[in-house]
Amino acid sequence: MSSSASSTTILRAASRFPLLAALALACSLALAGCGGKGGGADARGEAANKAPDPIPVEVQPVTRRAIAASYTGTAPLEPRAESQVVAKTSGVALSVLVEEGDRVRAGQVLVRLDPDRATLQAAQSAAQMAKLEASYRRSQQLAAEQLVSAADNEQLRFDLENARAANRLARLELSYSSVTAPISGVVASRSIKTGNFVQINTPIFRIVDTSRLEAVLNVPERELATLKAGQAVQLQVDALPGRTFRGEVDRVSPVVDAGSGTFRVICTFAGSDGSEEGGALQPGMFGRIGISYDQRMDARVIPRVALLEDEGEAAVFVVRDGKAARVAVKLGYAEGPWVEIRDGLDAGEQVVVAGKAALRDGTVVQVIGAAARPSAVAATPAKPAAK
C-alpha cells in the first residue's frame, strides 16, 4: 500500500474513532519521552566516567649548592672625613689656587689673602718685644748691683713676656693670610673668587675625603647577635650597574635605639684616591648592601618561586606518581633566587615552580618544559641492538 493510501486510511479511522486516535497519540508521546530520558542518563554517565584533564606544570629538582645567610639594606655613601674651610682672618683674596674637583693634601695653601696689615702688626710687636728684652737685660745687671728694686725688675720681666705673646699672636694672624686645607681630599665646592673680600670665619671651601667611604645601616635589633665588625660586605649602586664592590663592617653600635628598635652598623668601602687604580665609588651614591654572616657549603635548595604564597607554614607542591602532593617544609637561609630546605624534601625531588596556583593536593598534573624531556626519553623503550 502506498503512503498516500495509508494516510487516507488513518484519517478515515481517526474520523470514525476519535477516542482510539487520542489514545494512540498519547502512547506515542510517552514512548518518545522514555527514549529521550534514557539517552540523557547515558551521556551523563560517560561524562562522569571521563578522567579530568591534567594540569600542565613546570618543575625543578631539589639540588645542593652553597648558600649564604646575609642581611640586606640600603644606604647612601658618605665620606669618612669632611671639612668646611673657613677664613680665620679678614682680607682680600689675592689668589685662589684650587678649583672644584682638585685633589688637595692637608696643609696645602688654597687661598692667599692680603697680608699687609698682619705684616705690620707683626713687625710692630717684634719691635716692642726687642725693646723690652734690652731693658730687661739692663735691669738684671742693675739689680745685681742693687741699683734697681726687685719689684721693678719683675715688672720688666712680666712686660717682656706680654710682648712676646703679642708677637706670637701677630705672627699667627699673619699665617692666617694663607688659607690651608685641614684634611686631604677633593674640593667639593668653592664659594670664593680672586678679588673677593673675605670675612673672618666665612666658609669658602668644602673638602671631602673620598679615599674611604662609609654607609650607615639601621638594623633591627634581632640581628644584633649576628652582625660583627670585620664581616664581608657587598655593595651595588645604581650609578654603576653590573658592578659589585666589596667592603667590610667597620664598627657596630652596641646600643639599640629605644624608639626605632634598631642599632647602627657602619660599613666601609674603598673610594677614589686620585690614582688610576682608585675606586669608582663617590660620596652621595645610593647603594644596596648585603652583609654575609654565615654560609652552608652543601645545602638543599629550591627556587624561591616554588614556595606557596598562602598564609601559614611554608609548603610546596611536589610531583609524585603524576599527581601534585602538598608538602610542608622547614626553611633555612635565603640568598637571591634560592632558599634552603632544612626538612621536608630530599635532593632530586621535583617541586612545582609554575602552574601551582591551579593545584590542590592530589591534582593530576602534566610536567612540561625542559624538566619533562628526560622523563619522556626514559619512557621510550630502547631499540634492540642489531645482530
* Residue 50 confidence (pLDDT): 63
CATH numbers and ranges of domains, the chain: 56-65+297-377 (2.40.420.20), 71-80+211-296 (2.40.30.170), 86-203 (2.40.50.100)
Give the per-residue pLDDT at 372: 53
Map grid coordinates 728694686 to a residue: 149
Read off the pLDDT band of 138 (50, 70, 90). confident
Rounded-to-integer distance, Cα 374 and Cα 217, Å:
47
CA-to-CA distance for 312 and 302, rounded, in angstroms?
Answer: 19
Residue 168 predicted with pLDDT over 60 = yes
CA distance 52 to 60: 24
pLDDT per residue as tens digits for the range 266-297? 999 988 764 444 468 888 899 999 988 877 88
State the pLDDT at residue 254. Answer: 87
67, three cell numbers: 648558600
Report the predicted TM-score, pTM, of the whole model to 2 decimal places. Answer: 0.57
Q: How far apart are CA 287 and CA 217, in angstroms?
A: 11
Given the DSSP bridges, would you call strands 365-367 and 55-61 parallel, antiparallel or unpaired?
Answer: parallel
Share of the chain above pLDDT 70, in %: 80
Q: If you average pLDDT over each of 95-99, 224-228, 345-349, which comes out highest?
A: 95-99
Confidence tier at 347 by pLDDT (50, 70, 90) = confident
Residue 122 CA to residue 309 CA, distance in Å, equals 80
| pLDDT value of position 335 | 79
- Comparing 34 with 226, which gets the higher pLDDT? 226
Beta-bridged to residue 248, according to DSSP, are: 232, 268
Q: What is the pLDDT of residues 68-108, one digit of tens each?
A: 778 889 999 999 889 999 999 999 999 999 999 899 999 99
For all residues of the chain together, what is the average pLDDT?
A: 81
Structure confidence at residue 279 (pLDDT): 61
Residue 371 pLDDT > 60, yes or no? Answer: no
Give the HSE-up count for residue 264: Cα atoms under 13 Å, Cβ half-sphere: 9
pLDDT in tens, 227-272: 889 998 999 998 888 888 999 999 999 899 999 999 999 999 988 7
Measured between alpha carbons, how far is 189 from 186 in angstroms, rounded to an integer?
A: 9
214 strand-pairing partners: 78, 268
Q: Is the pLDDT of residue 26 over 80?
A: no
For residue 200, what pLDDT band results from cuts at 50, 70 and 90?
very high
